[in-house]
Amino acid sequence: MLIVGNHHAWRMESGTERALRRAGHKTLLVDDRRASRVIGRKLTQRWVLSQARRFKPDFVILSKCLALDLETVATIIDGKPNSMWFQDPQWYKSTYRPDIAHIIAVGKLSQTFFVSGFDAEWRALGLRAKFLPAAGDRDLTPVAPKRRYHSDVSFIGTGYDPSRAQLLLKIAKKYDIKVWGKGWEEWRKPLNWSGRPVEGKQFAAVCSSSNISLGVNPDRAKGGMSYTSDRTWMVILAGGFYLGQGTPGLTEMLREGDHCAWYKDIDSCLAQIDYYLKNSAQRERIRREGQVFVRSNHTFDQRIHNLLSGEAFVNPLA
Closest CA to 32 of 73, 71, 80, 84: 73
Residue 106: per-residue pLDDT: 97
Question: What percent of the chain lies above the pLDDT cut of 90?
Answer: 88
- 208-252 pLDDT, tens digit each: 999 999 999 888 778 778 888 899 999 999 999 999 999 899 999
Q: What's the confidence (pLDDT) of residue 259?
A: 98
In this predicted structure, what is the pLDDT of residue 223? 79
Query: Structure pTM?
Result: 0.94
- Domains 2-135+300-309 and 147-297 fall in the same CATH topology: yes
For residue 123, the model assigns a pLDDT of 94
Give me the pLDDT at residue 224, please: 79
Structure confidence at residue 88 as a pLDDT band (50, 70, 90): confident
Q: How confident is the model at residue 171 (pLDDT cuts 50, 70, 90)?
A: very high
Residue 223: DSSP 8-state: T
pLDDT the model gives residue 90: 67
Distance of CA 181 to the CA centre of its chain: 15
User: Hey, where are the domains in the chain?
Assistant: 2-135+300-309, 147-297
Mean of pLDDT values over 32-46: 98
Write down the architecture of domain 147-297 according to CATH: 3-Layer(aba) Sandwich (3.40)
Listed in sequence order, the residues at least 6 apart from 42 whose beta carbon sits closer than 8 Å to its beta carbon are: none
Does position 3 have pLDDT exceeding 90, yes or no?
A: yes
**For residue 89, pLDDT beyond 80:** no
Banded pLDDT at 96 (limits 50, 70, 90): confident
Angle at 24 between CA 23 and CA 26, to 5 degrees: 120
Percent of the chain with pLDDT strictly greater than 70 = 99
Q: Is the pLDDT of residue 91 over 80?
A: no
Q: Under CATH, what is the fold of the domain 2-135+300-309?
A: Rossmann fold (3.40.50)
Q: What value does the mean pLDDT of the chain take?
A: 95
Longest dimension (CA), the chain: 60
pLDDT-based confidence at residue 151 (cuts at 50, 70, 90): very high
Average pLDDT over residues 136-163: 94
